[in-house]
Structure 1
Amino acid sequence: MDELKLRNVHLQQVQNQIRHNTDGLSSSTLVLRRGQSFTILINYDGRTYDPLKDKLVFRIVLVPLSVEVPVSVSGNPSPSQWSAILERSAPDPNAGRTQIVSLFSPASSPVGVYTLHLRVETRGSIKTHVLGQFTLLCNPWCQADSVFMQSEDLRNEYIRNDIGLLFKGSPENIDSRPWSFDQYERGVLDICMKLLQLSPQSQADARKDLQNRSNPVYISRVISAMVNCQDDKGVLMGNWSGKYSDGVNPSMWSGSADILRLWAATQFSPVKYGQCWVFAAVMCTVMRALGIPTRVVTNFNSAHDTNANMVIEEYYSEKGEKLSIGRDSVWNFHVWVESWMKRPDLDGGYDGWQVLDPTPQEMSAGMYRCGPAAVKAVHEQKVNAPYDVPFVYAEVNADVRIIIIRDGKILATKVDKDRVGALICTKRPGTMVMQEITAEYKTEMDGMPFMFSSDARGGGGTAERFSRSGEGANGRGVRQGVGVSLQLLKAPVVGENLSFIVKITNNMAIPKLLRKHVNAQNKEYNRDPTGTFWEDHDDLKIGPNETVTVKHEISFTEHMLNEAMEDCLVNLAVVIEDVKSQERVLASGEYNISSPALNIQIQNEYSVIINTQQVATVTFTNPFNVAVSGDLIVAGSGLLEEKVQMRLTIQPRETMKRPIRFIPWMTGAKMLHAFLELTDRSTVLRGFKTVTVQAA
């Protein structure tokens, strides 16, 4: 028995992944984090391993890169290079002899899928064995890694948490919708690694790409481009046309796994379709899977400044209709992500959260991507800092110039400095509620912190005072004789009429003859409104220093949309014209129409045990005066292996209850998510319930 003969090698997947905080991630390989040791068991027959006679050399390959790592019998791992140290050896009567080796990867190692080889050199022979593959990720638990995050609670939220909330709507009426990031779902991590392998950078120069993959700044720019398909074999195709018959309505997606799997199953053809929150949510999944702490962020009243002059121009007719003129726009909301990393490429002090936006809007260095733009650089107006800080700065800070025109002639103008970036928010760690982060992007205005009063969230329209053309945009020197405001009487809900009041005030001690023009238009969150669907025009007399209140009501049948959407928005505007002085004032507001919610209750929700059947009940009361039909779909990563789907018809005012049985297969905070697309009401209804699954 003089020969040392390798019997097998055990990569200890379970033990290593628990130590590396990658347990639960589904991959065809061992999953590890860089900057941390992992252990390998080597079983062999024959004589005892003798380091004076025998040599063990690991070869670690990331094609076309490779490194050879001889096994040392003692010492400590080097922080800057791969190393392998013999831990101990012991005879095993059942498995021959066992050698335990600790392999260490530096914290600057490239992210990728590696192949591990072992060469056994003895006096009599040299034999090489392929041991298998491992996927190496960034490591926010390691201080030497450039994505290190100090707080364990924040690491759990921004790396390990697989459920989230996306915020949409308008600052006055915020809607939250659940999203399942799905990084633990079968095959998702392997698909995320494909984004790196299929990127134009990898295809053009694989060696250079792999060398750069040690840097999360580089990785994040690659992923920002690869989530959209504008320049590459990216994941998602954007569509804001309202026509989705050859794909999926963006509002129908509820998690990232379906999208990523469809991309992989179709030979990496773009998935149809996505909009900003879908792009951002999928990018969050990929970045968390790669080990880079990431959160989804919503910017309400987000400016798209195409000519980079920091001014967005909006045009209204003299009768209050918002006009589609110019390429600049203000989206009611826009969703991007922030990722946590060091920025050694900047002067210093700009580590931390970085804006990344995969929605294809403008090119950055020849590709449709955005960021990483340091949030602190945006706050400090450091617009010369890479990457794309000026674009992000404009998204949260641009001025809005509102112009009333007739036959191409400007009748009045007003500059609004407060609307853009009115509220910037994300999900609060450890909860399912909103956290406002506006102050991280913007300086305080007039010494006051960013906050909304109860009035500001009550649905009031923005009253704009205008100067007449040629008298100055700020209205100085122009006596404003009339004031107007617009306010909803209650939050708009699908199926109900839209009720609001217009309040007109005569600030002068003389009576006035006024013309009132009220206009309503449907709109999508990312563009100007479509044509007017309701309007009202009349003349009225108002006494000296008098205030007149006029109530208006728009029936649901007038403002309902034909295409199923969850972002139903209405632009309301009122223009008051002083007949004698030709002075005009405008009040406007954009309001999202909320959908009724599904309710989910879980039996014994505080004692949900892994691998034990549980029962949830989905409840919905039909608020409409007609029967509705649709498909109810219930999903839950870690709770349901497959989605539950059923066809429903619900009578007027009927309460529907459907039990859903599930067996949790992962512990921790999980979420059941239900949505119901009403085919005859053009409405998507949603509901969710979070539950903590306990170990047996």
Structure 2
Amino acid sequence: MQTLCILNVNLEKSENLERHRTDGFSNSEELVVRRGAPIRVSLQLEGRAFNTKTDYLRVQVMLGRLYVLMPVTYSKRICPTRWKAYIDQEDFDLKNPSIFISSPASASVGSYRLKISVLIRGSKKKTCVFGKFILLCNPWCRADGVYIPFEDQREEYIQNDSGLLFIGTAMNPASRPWSFDQFEPGVLEACLKLLELSPQHQKDTRIDYLNRKNPVYIGRVVSAMINSEDDRGVLKGKWEGDFKQGVNPSLWTGSGDILTQWAESGFSPVKFGQCWVFAAVMCTVMRVLGIPCRVITNYNSAHDTNDNLVIEEFYSETGQKLNRSKDSIWNFHVWVECWMTRRDLGSGMDGWQVLDPTPQERSGGVFCCGPAPVKAIKDRRIDLVFDIPFVYAEVNADIHSIILSKGRVVSHNKDTERVGSLICTKTIGSPRQQTITGNYKYVKSPTPTTSSRSFTASEDSTLSRAGSSTGMLVFLYLDKAPVAGEPVRFNVKIVNTQRAAKRIKVHLNAQAKEYNNSPSDTFWETHGVTELAPMEVVVLQEQILPAQYEDVVGDNLINLAVVLEDMASQQRVLASEEINITSPQLTIKIASENSIVPGETQSATVTFTNPFSHMVAGVLTLAGAGLIQGKIHFRMLPLHPRASMNHRFTFVPSKVGTKMLQASLTLSNINSTIRGFKMVSVNRA
């Protein structure tokens, strides 16, 4: 009788990539598929044809030392909780049969080995072939714990390889482009290696593989591994001093450079990251692993070190902010949300979960945070895991503003509305901001835009009550959002709430500050005296000229404060605002914007107009996943004030789809980086 053996196995890569919506990973050496959906595998047999009465096939899938052994049946009925291998009898070629392998919707994420054997009844002889595939979570599968119901959400939170990160201030949000790069060469492999290098995997490989079926577990592992504080994680954080031993966090433009540098260095931490970099890289890893993820910005984010839901800020009697507290308010803080079911907490906690890889506080002895259900944060369910009290404080703490004079407290007021005043993310399918503050907290009033928080405070707010007890109120507000190269114009509104005239000292102070630190020394101040008749309202108009702020502000912010002192009673009242100055944008124009196809050279131009009061020079960098291989750098010659620069360049798209073309200009004589981006539609040829 003629023998039968398996000569080869074809994993039908192109068909399976399309079926599993993983065609972005077509450059991977291994087949990439999603759990809960069948994989078609074709066998090439040698010898006689397959006999369905005497021959049978067996499949073994292996993850590390864990394995499942299953016969290949003729029943297409699959179970979402078990592995299954079957033959479709309606389309069965006896010489080159195809089999389907279906994984459970809760199978563990990882790199699998595959063994397919052919056996003959009554014979001990068998032959086998081997293959490999990478299994990811499946947000398209209803039985998967990461299932998200709408296609536009899956497209945005899994497939979109670019986006916007929001920085600046709640009064004047600014966006910066970011390339998530999840389909770039080496990124998938780095993400899988991140799981392998985790302390959980190193301690007990078997238990780690078993736990990888749960997105909650994966989220905690990844949150800890993005920072390098406790392990061989990806990024080293740095918030003070210079960045000469690494890269200034503000210069990163995408996750791909960071993840590939980490892998190519032998998994030494990449220097350096800050919150938006940590969050953006985590977003990449989670999207690669198949878990829907988006980047979130919380404006006026509280870091409450003593868990009392109070942040104290100290000012001098002339309005200079002092570094006197371990607690702090970050102008913005960036984390991620991941979509998953919470079977450990009950269905009421399903949906978006906060995960924060920035190393701030330890959770379970490790620098990680979450997943904390957004619903639990809103309802202050501090009895639930993970890290809900810490995130609750970030969006809900009160601010106590204290004026000191000769070491003595001379004024104290409380602001209950400033922390978490705006929480936002990128809108699905659009380069715009989506406000989600109401997901985290019960919002009392609309978020202020160009007018200051204190000016829009309601009459019954704690801020107004504190001011009225002194017999005077002060409000600080801007004419409009400040723009680089223009004066910062603002108004100080003073209200005498008593039926007696007042003589008041007015102290105005401006300090440059980084988003997460106390301000530096004063760079602008003015002092004066004003007289108010009974119940009178006075508005003072002030401005800070570009020449006064350009050399000290750059990419930083300005802490602006006013202190009023009643010269008769020595009572004081404070109003403050932290403002950012909007940078100019680089403009990108593409010559043939409507006819861009892979493999054809395209021409584009970057334009920059110098808004500053003196000459600038720097380095222009161009990048774009699927558009430009690596990065292109050009040195810009000195440019006079108000003069413009046009730089023409070419690029060759390599991938179909909507891609982001980025340009950034790092100025050498100002601490500032000017950015711009253009979304490019690459069509099939």
Query: TM-score w.r.t. structure 1 length?
Result: 0.93
Give the structure 2 partner of residue 57 of structure 1.
58
Q: What are the residue-to-residue correspondences of 1:527-566 with 2, within 5 Å? A: 527-561=517-551, 566=555
Do the aligned partners of 2:467 and 2:473 also contact (CA within 8 Å) in 1? no
Deviations 1:545-590 (A, max 9, x none): 3333333333334333569x63x10001010000112221111100
| SS of residue paired to 2:562 | strand
Deviations 1:10-65 (A, max 9, x none): 00111101000101124221000000101001001211112443332221111121
Give the structure 2 partner of residue 651 of structure 1.
639
- Deviation, 1:190, is 1.0
- Deviation, 1:631, is 1.0
Do the aligned partners of 2:78 and 2:84 also contact (CA within 8 Å) in 1? yes
Do the aligned partners of 1:119 and 1:126 also contact (CA within 8 Å) in 2? no
CA RMSD of aligned residues (A): 2.2
Amino acid at match of 1:549: V
Give the structure 2 partner of residue 607 of structure 1.
595
Give the structure 2 partner of residue 460 of structure 1.
452
CA distance in 2, matches of 1:189, 1:477: 56
| SS of residue paired to 1:536 | strand
CA distance in 2, matches of 1:104, 1:548: 74
Q: What are the residue-to-residue correspondences of 1:49-198 with 2, within 5 Å? A: 49-88=50-89, 97-122=95-120, 124=123, 126-198=125-197
CA distance in 2, matches of 1:296, 1:596: 24
| SS of residue paired to 1:645 | strand
- Deviation, 1:637, is 0.9
CA distance in 2, matches of 1:640, 1:477: 56
Report the CA distance shift for 1:661/1:600 in structure 2 as closer, same or farther (over 3 A): same
Matching of residue 288 in structure 1 with residue 287 in structure 2? yes
| SS of residue paired to 1:193 | helix
Give the structure 1 partner of residue 489 of structure 2.
499
Q: What are the residue-to-residue correspondences of 1:460-479 with 2, within 5 Å? A: 460=452, 462=454, 479=469
Amino acid at match of 2:340: M
| SS of residue paired to 1:98 | coil
CA distance in 1, matches of 2:109, 2:592: 42
- Deviation, 1:213, is 0.3
Give the structure 2 partner of residue 694 of structure 1.
683
- Deviation, 1:459, is 4.2
- Deviation, 1:5, is 2.5
Give the structure 1 partner of residue 17 of structure 2.
17
CA distance in 1, matches of 2:439, 2:525: 41
Give the structure 2 partner of residue 469 of structure 1.
none
- Deviation, 1:426, is 0.4
- Deviation, 1:343, is 0.2
Do the aligned partners of 2:547 and 2:613 also contact (CA within 8 Å) in 1? no
CA distance in 1, matches of 2:436, 2:463: 31
Matching of residue 47 in structure 1 with residue 48 in structure 2? yes
CA distance in 2, matches of 1:433, 1:477: 37
Amino acid at match of 2:267: F
Among 579, 586, 596, the alignment partner of 1:598 is 586
CA distance in 1, matches of 2:463, 2:656: 59
Give the structure 2 partner of residue 673 of structure 1.
662
| SS of residue paired to 1:146 | coil
Report the CA distance shift for 1:91/1:379 in structure 2 as closer, same or farther (over 3 A): closer
Matching of residue 636 in structure 1 with residue 624 in structure 2? yes
Deviations 1:623-667 (A, max 9, x none): 234332211111111111232211111421322112222222222
Matching of residue 525 in structure 1 with residue 515 in structure 2? yes
Amino acid at match of 2:419: V
CA distance in 1, matches of 2:385, 2:92: 58
Do the aligned partners of 1:519 and 1:532 also contact (CA within 8 Å) in 2? yes
Do the aligned partners of 2:602 and 2:650 also contact (CA within 8 Å) in 1? yes
Report the CA distance shift for 1:107/1:544 in structure 2 as closer, same or farther (over 3 A): same
CA distance in 2, matches of 1:464, 1:643: 45
Report the CA distance shift for 1:628/1:294 in structure 2 as closer, same or farther (over 3 A): same
CA distance in 2, matches of 1:515, 1:329: 29
CA distance in 2, matches of 1:464, 1:294: 34
Report the CA distance shift for 1:198/1:126 in structure 2 as closer, same or farther (over 3 A): farther
Give the structure 2 partner of residue 210 of structure 1.
209
Give the structure 2 partner of residue 418 of structure 1.
417
Give the structure 2 partner of residue 468 of structure 1.
none
Give the structure 1 partner of residue 609 of structure 2.
621
CA distance in 1, matches of 2:552, 2:520: 13
| SS of residue paired to 2:97 | strand
Report the CA distance shift for 1:18/1:244 in structure 2 as closer, same or farther (over 3 A): same
CA distance in 1, matches of 2:385, 2:365: 14
Matching of residue 573 in structure 1 with residue 533 in structure 2? no
| SS of residue paired to 2:284 | helix
Deviations 1:189-232 (A, max 9, x none): 11111111110000001100110000000000000000000111
Of 548-557 and 411-420, deviating more is: 548-557
Task: Point out 4+ residue stretches in structure 1 off by more than 6 angstroms.
Answer: 89-92
CA distance in 2, matches of 1:524, 1:289: 32
| Structure 2 residues without counterparts, runs of 5 or longer | none
Of 588-597 and 67-76, deviating more is: 67-76
Percent of matched pairs sharing the same residue:
50
CA distance in 2, matches of 1:146, 1:78: 16
Give the structure 1 partner of residue 2 of structure 2.
2
Report the CA distance shift for 1:501/1:474 in structure 2 as closer, same or farther (over 3 A): closer
| SS of residue paired to 2:95 | strand
Q: What are the residue-to-residue correspondences of 1:339-378 with 2, within 5 Å? A: 339-378=338-377
Do the aligned partners of 2:298 and 2:424 also contact (CA within 8 Å) in 1? yes
| SS of residue paired to 1:280 | helix
- Deviation, 1:67, is 1.2
- Deviation, 1:166, is 0.5
CA distance in 1, matches of 2:323, 2:633: 41
Give the structure 2 partner of residue 315 of structure 1.
314
Query: TM-score w.r.t. structure 2 length?
Result: 0.95
- Deviation, 1:518, is 1.1
CA distance in 1, matches of 2:551, 2:428: 35
Give the structure 2 partner of residue 582 of structure 1.
570
Do the aligned partners of 1:518 and 1:535 also contact (CA within 8 Å) in 2? yes
Report the CA distance shift for 1:115/1:436 in structure 2 as closer, same or farther (over 3 A): same
Amino acid at match of 2:557: L
Deviations 1:115-173 (A, max 9, x none): 11122323555445452211000000101101011101111111011111111100111
Do the aligned partners of 1:302 and 1:331 also contact (CA within 8 Å) in 2? yes
- Deviation, 1:611, is 3.0
CA distance in 2, matches of 1:43, 1:680: 66
Amino acid at match of 1:493: V
Amino acid at match of 2:449: R
- Deviation, 1:675, is 0.2
CA distance in 2, matches of 1:91, 1:331: 63
CA distance in 2, matches of 1:651, 1:425: 36
Of 553-562 and 291-300, deviating more is: 553-562
Give the structure 2 partner of residue 37 of structure 1.
38
CA distance in 1, matches of 2:657, 2:639: 38
Give the structure 1 partner of residue 323 of structure 2.
324
CA distance in 1, matches of 2:142, 2:613: 60
Deviations 1:472-527 (A, max 9, x none): 99957964422222223443233444333323233334322211111111111112
CA distance in 1, matches of 2:530, 2:257: 57
CA distance in 2, matches of 1:183, 1:658: 29
Of 623-632 and 205-214, deviating more is: 623-632
CA distance in 2, matches of 1:76, 1:650: 70
Do the aligned partners of 1:298 and 1:424 also contact (CA within 8 Å) in 2? yes
CA distance in 2, matches of 1:121, 1:460: 77
CA distance in 2, matches of 1:664, 1:74: 45
| SS of residue paired to 2:347 | coil
Report the CA distance shift for 1:581/1:227 in structure 2 as closer, same or farther (over 3 A): same
Report the CA distance shift for 1:529/1:624 in structure 2 as closer, same or farther (over 3 A): closer
